[in-house]
């Protein structure tokens, strides 16, 4: 446990000192919101933003996560720090857990700012359902999956040429089932039509199940991936 | 007991053998310098021996511990100083050493960090981030990092790369201080310097050992002539 806390503390100290990931993800998320705004500015008055908002929110989260995940190992690569950690006798899966936790916390921090901004930009002219607050559940479940799978993939791509593209190429297909389930659950919660729980609950269960399988798989595979 | 006993060690990347059937042994307290032209497999050999890369075949025992079967046990005895300092530039000198000391599970991590900062004469800069350090200071801190858990075997991978003459002098002084009772394995391009420092010398070419002996049995002129010949032998 002390290995996990030491690794996590190092990541948090570094990020709070440089604010590199948080700033870049935050600014990027804001810019994506502006682009969405421009793209939807000419839609007809009959256009129902509620139907699309779940999808748009997850586009924002996935793209912002990709940017952050690409940077999450930049410090480890610089100066050969990752090799320094690998020289220490510790369980490799603890490195995964600590890095995935720090990525998760940074993604949550960005979401805390961007989700209200998303609401302000797109949902103030309409009336989301009373169940809107329930989007917190797919946001948490989806972000956990993104952080877990993304941490594994960013480790795989750290030494590849064109790692930014490579991460996206591996990441999007792998998180697709999770993304699909989270978009369904989020949209159901925002619209909140009668019987929305019939969509919301199974979608959330699917996302949760996918999280458990993929995060466990990432954890088990991490020793092999990082040693290779 | 041998500090390091290597037997028919091979590391292949696909069909290319970067290290090919390498065998040698050095006693505890020895200083082994490994020479060879670019692409001879020196750094690959060092990485395998330091447990950063798994061998394809063969074996290596570090203080009697099989590095393939018991890598974690071997790691407690290994220190590595490389041209990459392995330090986080946005953490302070103290934070960097504390991070490593805690991962090694040292009982009095704070006390040991203070000792090591004293040893490398960086106590006055302990609250400064590594990013603000000169190359020489960073390298001194990387020595403290590598030795914080008091390893018995220290690997040096081109440690002089990028150091100015004054920093080299300081580095040499530090190595002299910490040399007692430790085994050093150094990869170097600098034949004269590496030879002066060593008790044993090994020359690699195309991944294979072309010469290995105690320094006392080696004639430097003949050794440097052999080195010149290996430069033309190409990459492993």
B173-189 residue pLDDT tens: 878 877 777 899 999 88
| Mean local confidence (pLDDT), A119-124 | 84
Q: What is the mean pLDDT of chain A?
A: 87
Look at B103 and A227 and tell me if their CB atoms are within 8 Å. no
For residue A166, how many other CB atoms are within 10 A of its CB? Answer: 17
Other Cβ atoms closer than 10 A to A47:
10
What average pLDDT is seen over chain B?
A: 87
Provide the pLDDT for residue B232.
62
Rounded to whole angstroms, how far apart are CA atoms B133 and B163?
13
Report whether pLDDT(A184) > 60: yes
Distance in angstroms (rounded) separating the CA atoms of residues B208 and B21: 7
| pLDDT confidence band for A228 (50 / 70 / 90) | low
Residues in A closer than 8 angstroms to B82, CB to CB, are 80, 83
For residue A84, list chain B residues with Cβ-Cβ distance below 8 A. Answer: 80, 86-87, 100, 145
- Residues of chain A with C-beta less than 8 angstroms from the C-beta of B147: none
Task: Lowest mean pLDDT of A32-36, A40-44, A138-142, B188-192, name the range.
Answer: A40-44
Q: Which chain B residue has the Cα nearest residue A86?
A: B52
Q: CA A144 → CA A221, B128, B180, B189, distances in Å?
A: 17, 35, 50, 48
User: Is B76 touching A (CB cutoff 8 A)?
Assistant: yes
**Has residue B63 got a pLDDT over 70?**
yes
Q: Chain B within 8 Å of A18 (Cβ-Cβ)?
A: yes
Average pLDDT over every residue of A78-84: 85
Per-residue model confidence (pLDDT) at position A137: 93
Measured distance CA(A158)–CA(A217) in Å, rounded: 19
Length of chain A: 228
CB contact under 8 A, A79 and B50: no
Query: What pLDDT is stored for residue A47 in this prediction?
Result: 74
CA distance linking residue B20 with residue B11, whole number of Å = 7
How far does A164 lie from chain B, in Å, by closest CA?
22
- Does the beta-carbon distance from A89 to B76 stay under 8 Å? yes
Burial-class residue A93 by CB neighbours within 10 Å (0-12, 13-18, 19+): middle
CB-closest option in B54, B82, B103 to A88: B103
At residue B162's C-alpha, the angle toward residues B158 and B168, to 5°, is 80
Q: Is B128 on the interface with A (CB under 8 A)?
A: no
Work out the minimum CA distance from B216 to partner chain A, whole angstroms.
33
Distance separating alpha carbons of residues B144 and B131, to the nearest angstrom: 17
Produce one character per residue of B12-41: b if its CB has 16 or more CB atoms within 10 Å, e if not.
Answer: beeeebbbbebebbbeeebbbbbbbbebbb
Q: Which of residues 80-109 of B touch A (CB under 8 A)?
A: 80, 82, 84-91, 95, 99-100, 102-105
Chain B interface test: which of A84, A94, A159, A227 (most B C-beta within 10 Å): A84
Q: Which residues of B touch A3 (CB under 8 A)?
A: 103
pLDDT band at B233 (very low <50, low <70, confident <90, very high): low
Q: What is the mean pLDDT of residues B70-96?
A: 91
| Chain B interface mutation, best of A2, A71, A89, highest count of B Cβ atoms under 10 Å | A89
Interface test with B, best of A79, A102, A226 (most B CBs within 10 A): A79
Contacts of B109 in chain A (CB under 8 A): none
Residue A44: pLDDT band with limits 50, 70, 90:
low
Q: How many CB pairs under 8 A join A and B?
A: 69
* Better-predicted residue by pLDDT, A223 or B107: B107
Under an 8 A CB cutoff, do A84 and B87 touch? Answer: yes
Q: Residue A6 and residue B102: Cβ atoms within 8 Å?
A: yes
A225 interfaces chain B, CB cutoff of 8 Å: no
Which positions 58-87 of A are in contact with B (Cβ < 8 Å)? Answer: 75, 78-81, 83-87
The Cα–Cα gap between A134 and A189 comes to 6
ipTM of the complex: 0.86
Contact state of B85 with A2 under an 8 Å Cβ cutoff: no
Which pLDDT belongs to residue B83? 81
Residue numbers in A near B95 (CB within 8 A): 10, 13
């Amino acid at each position: 446990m002390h290995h996990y806390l030491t690794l996590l503390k190092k990541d948090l100290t570094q990020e709070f000192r440089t604010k590199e990931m948080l700033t870049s993800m935050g600014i990027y998320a804001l810019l994506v919101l502006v682009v969405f705004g421009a793209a939807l500015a000419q839609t007809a008055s009959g256009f129902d933003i509620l139907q699309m908002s779940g999808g748009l929110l997850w586009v924002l989260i996935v793209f912002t996560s990709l940017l952050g995940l690409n940077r999450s190992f930049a410090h480890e690569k610089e100066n050969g720090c990752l090799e320094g950690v690998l020289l220490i006798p510790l369980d490799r899966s603890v490195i995964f857990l600590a890095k995935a936790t720090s990525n998760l916390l940074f993604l949550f921090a960005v979401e805390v700012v961007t989700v209200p901004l998303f609401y302000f930009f797109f949902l103030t002219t309409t009336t989301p359902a009373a169940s809107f607050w329930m989007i917190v559940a797919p946001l948490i479940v989806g972000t956990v999956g993104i952080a877990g799978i993304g941490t594994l993939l960013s480790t795989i791509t750290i030494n590849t040429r064109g790692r930014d593209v490579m991460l996206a190429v591996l990441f999007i297909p792998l998180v697709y089932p999770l993304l699909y389930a989270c978009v369904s659950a989020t949209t159901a919660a925002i619209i909140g039509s009668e019987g929305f729980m019939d969509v919301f609950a199974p979608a959330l269960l699917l996302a949760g199940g996918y999280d458990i399988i993929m995060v466990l798989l990432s954890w088990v595979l991490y020793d092999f991936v990082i040693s290779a | 007991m041998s500090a390091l006993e290597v037997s028919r060690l091979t590391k292949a990347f696909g069909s290319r053998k970067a290290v090919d059937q390498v065998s040698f042994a050095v006693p505890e307290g020895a200083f082994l310098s490994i020479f060879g032209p670019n692409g001879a497999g020196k750094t690959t050999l060092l990485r395998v021996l330091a447990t950063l890369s798994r061998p394809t075949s063969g074996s290596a025992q570090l203080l009697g511990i099989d590095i393939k079967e018991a890598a974690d046990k071997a790691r407690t005895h290994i220190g590595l100083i490389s041209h990459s300092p392995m330090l986080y530039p946005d953490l302070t000198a103290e934070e960097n050493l504390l991070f490593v000391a805690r991962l090694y599970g040292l009982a009095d991590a704070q006390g040991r960090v203070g000792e090591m900062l004293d040893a490398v004469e960086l106590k006055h800069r302990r609250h400064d981030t590594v990013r603000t350090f000169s190359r020489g200071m960073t390298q001194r801190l990387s020595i403290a990092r590598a030795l914080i858990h008091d390893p018995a075997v220290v690997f040096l991978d081109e440690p002089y790369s990028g150091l100015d003459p004054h920093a080299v002098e300081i580095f040499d002084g530090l190595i002299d201080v910490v040399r007692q009772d430790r085994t050093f394995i150094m990869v170097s391009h600098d034949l004269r310097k590496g030879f002066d420092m060593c008790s044993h010398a090994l020359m690699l070419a195309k991944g294979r050992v072309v010469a290995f002996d105690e320094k006392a049995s080696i004639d430097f002129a003949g050794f440097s002539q052999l080195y010149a010949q290996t430069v033309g032998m190409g990459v492993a």
